[in-house]
Structure 1
Amino acid sequence: MTESRTARKAHRSPTPEPATRPARPRRAAAVLRRALSAAAALLWTALVVVPVYWVVVTSLRDHADFTGANPLVPPTDPTLANYRTVLDGDFTTYLVNSVVVTVAAVAVTVVVALMAAFSIVRHAGRWSRLSFRLYLLGLAIPLQAVIIPVYLLIIRMHMYDSLMAIVLPSAAFALPVTVMILVSFLRDVPRSLFEAMIVDGAGDWRMLFSLAAPLARPALVTVAVYDGLQVWNGFLFPLILTQSGDTAVLPLALTLFRGQFGINVPATMAAVVLSTLPMLVVFVLARRQLVAGLTAGFSK
């Protein structure tokens, strides 16, 4: 009986293996996705690079070449006359005003926001939570909605048509997002470090400048670059709160260049390139700290 069962099992047909799904459709779908991603990346790169390329190339043309040649073809006879025309004007004054306004506004914003964020993180209570919510509420207030009250305040403070009239409102409107970023960063600092400094007899000011500020350097650089870009490119405050050419900054001065040169587009593009170079240099110098600040806390 046992031998007959064994013989039947031996003669039984083997169980067919389940059919595997062909891998070719999967590979085709993956290749299609990569191709679509590459096409989207090339399209986005073109949308970003082509306008910048046009500005730089146009600034190197003379007026006759600009009106008669293909705008995307490099100039046959590039010239720096447009840059000389811009620098011979009041461009240096506008550049210095922009640097002063940007540095002052960023310094005020970073110092005040660091102290506010440290207080919110270290003294967790009802008033700290309330103050943090008030800062977050500032993110929902558009600049255009309060420009008239800001204008009246500047008039009452006798600061109209001065650089300080641009610095203070710019710093005030940069505080909410700066405080939010610094609070998020300081919350990731281990509490044991603060407790160790308290045991050593350190007070709040020493912990702020000896512990919180050095550890938050990537975040400080990030908010400084971000706020600097916002202030540097700001147009509404200089337009409303200043009047004379001595207090004009670069975004407002570009409109003056346009009126000064009439339809001389190459000279206007030269002014645009010169006004972009300072912030480009700052971004290149601070790119490592900027990336560290933007990615801090993502792996925790």
Structure 2
Amino acid sequence: MAPTASRGGSSTSATPPSPRSRRSPKASRTFRSPGSPGGALTPSQIRALAARHGIRPRKSLGQHFLVEPALARRIVEIASVGPDAHVLEIGAGLGSLTLPLARTGAEVVAVELDRFLVPALEEVVGEFPRVRVVVADAVSAEWKSLLDHGQEWVVVANLPYNVGVPVVMRLLETEPMVERMLVMVQREVGERLAADPGQPAFGAVSLRVAYRAESRLVRKVSRTVFWPRPNVDSVLVSLVRRPPPVRVDEAALWHVVDTAFNQRRKTMRGAMVRLGLERAQAEEALAACAIDFSTRPERLGLEAFACLTQRWLETSGSARVGGSSR
């Protein structure tokens, strides 16, 4: 989806706004009470804003608006956003996080897929010249055209439930200017992003995150702070970019990881055989990496998978699966 950028009252359609677009005077007149004393919208303000614009949350887009101002302020504090920061907010919604982010004086690019929310969002942040509202799909947006590559960016977002993993992985894998993220996602997703080997939620996604970032669960978030109330709780997850901690052909690494987790209840000996090794070769590779033959993939971290990948490449004589060596 082609992004549409605006400041204040520009077009809400998916077509580029007119060069003459400017902040809407109506928005400036209407929204006279911008949030609680700490700078975030109260539940009554959010509901009134939605009613004024004829907005109802859309389940198809995973919309659950944050309606707890104390939590919104706390998220901005945890993210350490100040006037020198450059912030990408994804799923800006009705401005629950956008307003306290804007009040820090930071540059904020607020991305929202639902163009019908944009007039309400612009009403909330129209007075802040460093806030830019962009209509775009975060899963496919061309971030390189939206974000200044001369700056380091921090993502602060209440991510829509249906796109949490793809958005986080795309930013980690393709957008190096994003240095860190603080994202609110449904609990199951957050646990997958931050899981360590041996934990129930650990899987291929956990390894892909660990390859590019240090991740941790910051806090649990009750479902009661959202409107409409979802059926599950959420968590706040911190991700800080780092260089890959292992040196191995990346495409080969993910081929080994995906093969193993496609049948995660099977042993790693079976996974190595499925990769084309003879049983004896598989056992030799596992022994060289100090891994028991009966170990299952969810017990192994990046270092173990990197070791097995290197042994697989050396033993099978496989050409690189694609991608570059790290």
TM-score range (shorter-chain normalised) is under 0.3
Higher helix share: 1
Larger relative contact order (CA 8 Å, sep ≥ 6) = 1
Higher strand share: 2
- Highest Rg: 1 or 2? 1
Give the TM-score of the pair, scaled to structure 2.
0.19
